[in-house]
Structure 1
Amino acid sequence: MADTPGTLVTTRPAPDAGFRVQPHNIEAEQALLGAIMINNEAYNRVADFLLAEHFYEPVHSRIFEVCARLISQGQLADPVTLRMWFDEDPALREVEGARYLRDLAIAAETIVNAQDYARLIHDLALKRGLIAIGEEIVTTAFDPETAEGAAQQVEQAEQRLYALAQEGVADGGFREFPAVLSTTIGLVESAFRQSGQITGVPTLLTDLDEKLGGLQASDLVILAGRPSMGKTALAITIGANAATCKAMGAAGKDSKTEKFGVGVFSLEMSAEQLAMRLLSGEADIGSDDLRRGKLKDDDFHRVVAASQRLAARPLFIDDTPALSIAALRTRARRLKRRHGIGLIVVDYLQLLRGTSRQSEGSRVQEIGEITQGLKAIAKELNVPVLALSQLSRAVEQREDKRPQLSDLRESGSIEQDADVVMFVYRDEYYMERAEPKQRPEENADRFRERYEAWAKRFEESRGMADVIIAKQRNGPIGNVRMAFQGSRGRFVNAETHPYDVY
């Protein structure tokens, strides 16, 4: 080995006829390490995206790793302080570790180009990652004994590509406040031109839109409730309604001809079951009658017309069960890229699976990973994510059954990561099961009084529901009253009389 850093003999194989060396640049690695040792500020300029494993030469990876450790502890990283780490390092012993470190520092002239060197190293590392993934894809596809089908192999490849793209992302970081402020003023202007009304994805549920201003881009919206409260019905009502609306431009008028695309991940119900609910609501025919085929001639014409209207909406349903958060992210990104969707609905988050090793065996950590993943999807794709969630049984133990934030099941991370938390509550559900019976010791007048009080409350709650906005980062909380048409599986504005469809 030579005595200068520029002639370090790499531990990687040298090229020969018929052999292709993976992309790398030893000189750029040496220049960056030298810059870091003569001025540790160079490390701070590249630390947010460059990792030790991005270096091609293992010796350089070790040096960068130790530099990072020392600098993060507030210590100086230079040839003198690094000497104790590398005098006995087998990888550097042949080049006299301390001398090689000193030569690296001497050869470096400035830290001005440190970021350029680091981005080059990062880019070459991504190319090597692409090569590794490509080779594995080819090997797996050729293997006749592999257990995975072609579709699974494609999904795994997409997950690995996404993970590679996220590893040490070189974008991001601080933005100057004037630029951020300019973007914010644009949003305010857009809202002003729309008369202060809907600035997000409309739900067409008037009072809900009034409270939320529509579902806002990059927001994680949690819709929670106990079983039979109508969570799925409300979610698909919102999704179907949103798919009828057109995207609004900064001038407050249609800037695009396409409607809001809606992607629905249904982990509980099949796509056909969801379609049946949507068809029932659109045709204004009970879902039970549709399922049993109890239709009149006029009903059938309504079904055909309703199906044509629904077919024109940009709705996409994925009913794959037990989907992982990584797979959901991959499919959402693909859907956004192909169809430009404006809303994602997930029914429901407890049926998703985590993917990290840290979450294995811990349901709380797994739910935390899932909610963080859903929020990341919302921010990355710049669309609202409406995720349904179950509530704990603690609700049933209370006299007042109206849900609270503390009832969110399994993890406080749901409340923490969400931008909006809403609960669906139907008093009718509980009142129907609380019909009073006359007690043996109770006289008729007392029983009649109790029964009439129950009947009055039941009548007031019949066909009605409350959507309780318990958390909203950028807006008011409160209660929204709306009508629930149970046989049609849909929610409508409160002024719509519900009894004609019960």
Structure 2
Amino acid sequence: MNQNYRDPLPSNIEAEQAILGAILINNDALAAVPSTFAMEHFYERLHQFIYDAILRGRAVGKGMNPVTVRSFMAPDAAYEKVGDMTVAQYLARLVSEAVSIRNVADFADAITGYYHRRQAMSIGDDAHDAGTKAEDELQFIDRIKECRDKLTAIVASIESRNDPQETLADTIDTSLDRTNDAVRGAAPVGIDPGIPEIMTLTGPWQRKQLIIIGGGVKQGKTALAMQCMFNLAEKMPVGLNSGEMSRTQIVMREKARRTGISSTRQLRGTVSDNEVEELLWAGEEMKRLQHIDIDCRRMTLDQIDQKITRLIGEHGIEAFFLDHIGKIQWTGKMEYEDEFKQGQRATSILKDMAQKHDIPIIALTHLKKSTFQDYQGRTFKERLSAAMNRRPTYRDLVGNMDKDADQVLVVFQARPIVAGMEPAENSDDYPVWEDAMNRVTGRADIILSLSRESEFPRRKEIEWDGKSTSYGPPYKQAMNARELF
């Protein structure tokens, strides 16, 4: 047996022996071990082998005791010497000296605490190496960021470990309290995305929910998500990973929503002195929002998970936006899968993340390429009508909506589709097309296509301003209306 527990590295060998002895006395004690506890939390290498053997034996329905454990251990570990004892003698000693099976959770907590301390010391060594061995500043920054992310993960793990465990009775009481608060108007049950049409469809967004916003190209799904994000940031810190736009584009779009001055005009500088003042005012107003973290790198799902962990630890974000599922960076075998399988994998893991981090995750996804094809009709008018009235459903979206999503919103605008059907200007069909364009311009539908909380499918028509890429009434008008209430 490795005797290096006398080295300075922090450990609690007694707790490790106690938890193994308790489990060997009564295998049912495993149920009290936290789900986050893992074999690598043990400091002593032999204890890791013993615990792993117990888990593998129980997985196939075997009763694990000092005799049967050895058959699930690798030969080199099973015949290792523990001082003057054999492994068999050591296992028997663990059982004979076991204190209590009632304290298994406390033993696991103590072991995990020392594991976190060793992790922190190892990260300190990594930081020292980064300072002394990094070849240039960029490599130094990358390595220090890795250290920071690891430390943040430790803090988050410790905090979740110390959170009081809520019983079913506690959860029932809490849910009733929240409902009573909502009835009295004391507090909303969830968060308000700031767009009345969405609130009507979905109700307040809840923690642990995966909310999908889908739509076709140029249908306005990103605009809808960004509008919700900036609305939320008035009251809470939020995070965003965007593979679609740069930070500058996102900020300019939000300034366009607040001022009515399009981002195109902002970029070209075709604005008056008064409009410059308006843009400055909008910028100052945005600076007063809660923390918004905007990361425009393509990231893997693991990197997104680590990012959320860090943002919760450092800023306490209460919602995270991903734009979009098609921009996730894949590695390994998934890199070569089609978008359908990638989408299924993405929504499954994103739902797990929402549950793990206890926040809503709002993820964008696009429609399958075949959604807006082959409009049927003998005449141009019939084909035009088919294009205007076809509404996508959650089945048209990339990802596994039935299984993973709590709410699925689909944005639909007929205008880009109708615009693409423009006939020759001097044709008989042109007046029909022109009339259709007048009817669809400035309008959009938000469709609740799937929901675990509300009746679906339902839809709400909403105003759309293409120049400012915004939904609903103009920003100032909406703010004035809000102040009246």
User: Which TM-score tier does this pair reach, normalised by the shorter chain?
Assistant: 0.7 to 0.9
- Letter aligned with residue 70 of structure 1: G
Structure 1 pair 461–167 and aligned structure 2 pair: CA distance change class (3 A): same
The Cα RMSD (Å) is 3.4
User: How far apart in 2 are the matches of 1:91 and 1:311?
Assistant: 63
Deviates most, 466-475 or 395-404: 395-404
User: How far apart in 2 are the matches of 1:73 and 1:274?
Assistant: 53
Tell me the residue number matched to 1:273.
249
- Letter aligned with residue 103 of structure 1: R
Does the alignment pair 1:475 with 2:454? Answer: yes
Tell me the residue number matched to 1:73.
60
User: How far apart in 2 are the matches of 1:30 and 1:175?
Assistant: 29
Structure 1 pair 286–82 and aligned structure 2 pair: CA distance change class (3 A): closer
User: How far apart in 2 are the matches of 1:319 and 1:57?
Assistant: 40
Tell me the residue number matched to 1:350.
326
Does the alignment pair 1:460 with 2:460? Answer: no
Structure 1 pair 116–263 and aligned structure 2 pair: CA distance change class (3 A): closer
Matched-pair contact (CA < 8 Å) for 1:261–1:314: yes
Paired-residue identity, %:
25
Counting only pairs closer than 5 Å after superposition, residues 307-346 of structure 1 correspond to structure 2 as 307-314=283-290, 316-346=292-322
Mark the structure with the bigger radius of gyration.
Answer: 1
Does the alignment pair 1:136 with 2:115? Answer: no
Tell me the residue number matched to 1:250.
none
| CA deviation string 1:282-339 (max 9, x = no partner) | 1222333322222234333333333333333336252432133343344444444454
State the secondary structure of the residue aligned to 1:24: coil
Matched-pair contact (CA < 8 Å) for 1:403–1:425: yes
- Letter aligned with residue 480 of structure 1: K
> Unpaired segments of 5 or more residues in structure 1?
1-9, 245-258, 439-443, 498-502
Matched-pair contact (CA < 8 Å) for 2:80–2:86: no
| CA deviation string 1:78-137 (max 9, x = no partner) | 223335557873314862333332233222253233333232222222222222222223
Q: Say which of 163, 174, 183 aligns to 1:183.
A: 174
Shift of 1:464: 0.7
User: How far apart in 2 are the matches of 1:457 and 1:219?
Assistant: 38
User: How far apart in 1 are the matches of 2:236 and 2:153?
Assistant: 28
Shift of 1:65: 1.8
Shift of 1:212: 1.9
User: How far apart in 2 are the matches of 1:190 and 1:59?
Assistant: 53
User: How far apart in 1 are the matches of 2:5 and 2:153?
Assistant: 29
User: How far apart in 2 are the matches of 1:408 and 1:391?
Assistant: 4
Shift of 1:368: 4.9
Shift of 1:182: 0.7
Aligned residue pairs: how many?
A: 457
> Taking structure 2 as the reference length, what is the TM-score of the superposition?
0.82
Does the alignment pair 1:434 with 2:425? Answer: no
| CA deviation string 1:209-252 (max 9, x = no partner) | 212223333322111111111122222222233334xxxxxxxx
> Unpaired segments of 5 or more residues in structure 2?
376-386, 478-485
- Letter aligned with residue 71 of structure 1: R
Tell me the residue number matched to 2:94.
104
> Taking structure 1 as the reference length, what is the TM-score of the superposition?
0.79
Matched-pair contact (CA < 8 Å) for 1:198–1:209: no
State the secondary structure of the residue aligned to 1:397: coil
Structure 1 pair 55–339 and aligned structure 2 pair: CA distance change class (3 A): closer
Structure 1 pair 68–260 and aligned structure 2 pair: CA distance change class (3 A): closer
Does the alignment pair 1:193 with 2:184? Answer: yes
State the secondary structure of the residue aligned to 1:79: coil
Does the alignment pair 1:486 with 2:477? Answer: no
- Letter aligned with residue 447 of structure 2: I
Matched-pair contact (CA < 8 Å) for 1:391–1:407: yes
Shift of 1:459: 2.1
Q: Say which of 4, 7, 22 aligns to 1:35.
A: 22
Tell me the residue number matched to 2:394.
405
Matched-pair contact (CA < 8 Å) for 2:354–2:361: yes
Structure 1 pair 349–108 and aligned structure 2 pair: CA distance change class (3 A): same
Tell me the residue number matched to 2:360.
384
- Letter aligned with residue 445 of structure 2: D
